[in-house]
Structure 1
Amino acid sequence: MRSAEGTRGSRADQADQRRAELLDAARRVVLERGISNTRVADIAKATNVSGGLIHYHFATKDELITAMLRVTIDGEVARLKELVQAEGPAAERLDRVLRYYIPRSRTDQSWLLWIDAFAAGLRETVVRDILLELETAWIGAVEQVIQAGVDSGAFTCDDPHGAAERLDSMLDGLIIRYTLHPSVLSRGRLLEHARIAAAREVSVPRSAFPLS
């Protein structure tokens, strides 16, 4: 006979699984329709469940979208921490972080999601707060890698935080251009811009970074 504790655990697991399915569906729908144009009814249709079931797990659309963005940011920040803590020469570590930030292609789902979130963040405070958290984590990761390079004597940089902010701002602009106009700016050229800028920020030659 199953214990009451086991039954509660099973129900909690089922609820967690259902929430994960709804968050995954929300991500797919948002990528297709955009945050502003996504309705709870669209997500219900994508998962073949009722809107009432969605509202059982998430009181509002905003709560659902926020939870979806939260899961996404948590995964990306966790990966950033792994890259920052990985061993290797200073320039190699910085290059790994830069390459992780740059989308793999113009259809990179993560970046399509964040570009859409940028627009939504103009009007939605919760989305804006999550974007700030992601940007803060990214700038912090770059700063940490640069500071480690300075401490080891591999880099020269009087203001690692400022250098990280400049790299962040430059890459955001270039990535939006690359995503919208890939025929004008290729990924290879985008990466080259990033490496040249990074080399200047930490006072090393461009040759300290990979050539391709």
Structure 2
Amino acid sequence: MPTSETGPVEPGTASRPAARVPTDRKRQPSGDEARARAMRAAISVIAEKGTAALRMSDIAERAGMSTGHILYHFGKKDRLLLEVLAWSQADLWARFRQAADRAASPAEKLDLFVRFYLPRDQGDERYALWTQVLAQGHDEAGRRILTELLDGWDERLEAIVREGQDLGHFADVDLPEFTIRAVAMLSGLSEDVMFGRARWRHTSPHAFALAALARELRPEGRELRPEGRD
């Protein structure tokens, strides 16, 4: 369940509540501006209160919008949760793509993938959103949306590894099996970070994950290290 902050590269967000925007009913935002503001407010409120206690009025207050405006955009809570998650991931993928386009090598893209996937700390709002949404019951359409979002990260990882293999930078691993192992490991590490396991207080989950992936992908007799990174 990947996550990242609203900054250009680094993942995670702080656990502090977002500032509430005063509601001006005479000038409500419209179109993309309104949806983006509502989405950001929803992510913050869900991380803070969870889905069970979530009210549309809480999102409206946080966004500085009217409750009617929120209802107009989302209709009901079940739809809201899926739409917010999809919007959050689209925003994250766009940032990842921008960073990956500047990367000097597949090894650096792999480093970025790990950074974007893992939460920074227990207060990561995007990862909290993932856990809240996955815990809900979903109909077939909802499960299809969630599956597509999860599969999207598998596909990105496979594309990075395939590029590295084509260039001779990565070993010739079985790609589907490697992806399953890699994503399972990253998900387990993410849960540890969100739970606050003590073993990660003095060890970087990112460094641990990258070293584990490098052991599988390192071509014989070569070192796998992203250019320009420690």
Q: Do they fold alike, i.e. is TM over 0.5? A: yes
Contact 2:171–2:218, Cα closer than 8 Å, also in 1: yes
User: For the aligned residues, what is the CA RMSD?
Assistant: 2.9
> Post-superposition shift, 1:149?
0.8
Alignment partner of 1:119 is 2:118: no
Contact 1:195–1:209, Cα closer than 8 Å, also in 2: no
Q: Give, in whole Å, the separation in 1 of the partners of 2:60 and 2:86.
A: 20
Q: Give, in whole Å, the separation in 2 of the partners of 1:189 and 1:144.
A: 25
Letter in 2 for 1:81: R
Identify the residue that residue 157 of structure 1 maps to in structure 2.
172
Identify the residue that residue 142 of structure 1 maps to in structure 2.
157
Identify which range, 190-199 or 126-135, moves more after superposition. Answer: 126-135
> Post-superposition shift, 1:23?
2.4
Q: Give, in whole Å, the separation in 2 of the partners of 1:47 and 1:149.
A: 43
> Post-superposition shift, 1:166?
1.3
User: 2:195 is matched with which residue: 180, 189, 193?
Assistant: 180
Contact 1:77–1:134, Cα closer than 8 Å, also in 2: no
Look up the SS of the partner of 1:208 in the other structure: coil
Question: How far does the alpha carbon of each residue in 1:84-138 deviate from its partner, in whole angstroms, 9 at most, with x for none?
Answer: 4444233222122212212223322222222222322xx1245544432232121
Rg larger in structure: 1
**What is the TM-score normalised by the length of structure 2?**
0.73
* Gapped regions of structure 2 (runs ≥ 5): 1-26
Alignment partner of 1:169 is 2:184: yes
Q: Whose RCO is larger (CA < 8 A, sep 6+)?
A: 2
TM alignment of 1:46-65, pairs within 5 A: 46-47=62-63, 50-65=66-81
Q: Give, in whole Å, the separation in 1 of the partners of 2:150 and 2:222.
A: 26
User: 1:37 is matched with which residue: 42, 47, 53?
Assistant: 53
Alignment partner of 1:203 is 2:218: yes
Q: Give, in whole Å, the separation in 1 of the partners of 2:101 and 2:48.
A: 35
Alignment partner of 1:18 is 2:34: yes
- Residues 1:184 and 1:158: Cα distance change in structure 2 (over 3 Å): closer
> Post-superposition shift, 1:169?
0.8
Identify which range, 41-50 or 170-179, moves more after superposition. Answer: 41-50
Letter in 2 for 1:94: L
Identify the residue that residue 97 of structure 2 maps to in structure 1.
81
**What is the TM-score normalised by the length of structure 1?**
0.78
Aligned pairs, number: 200
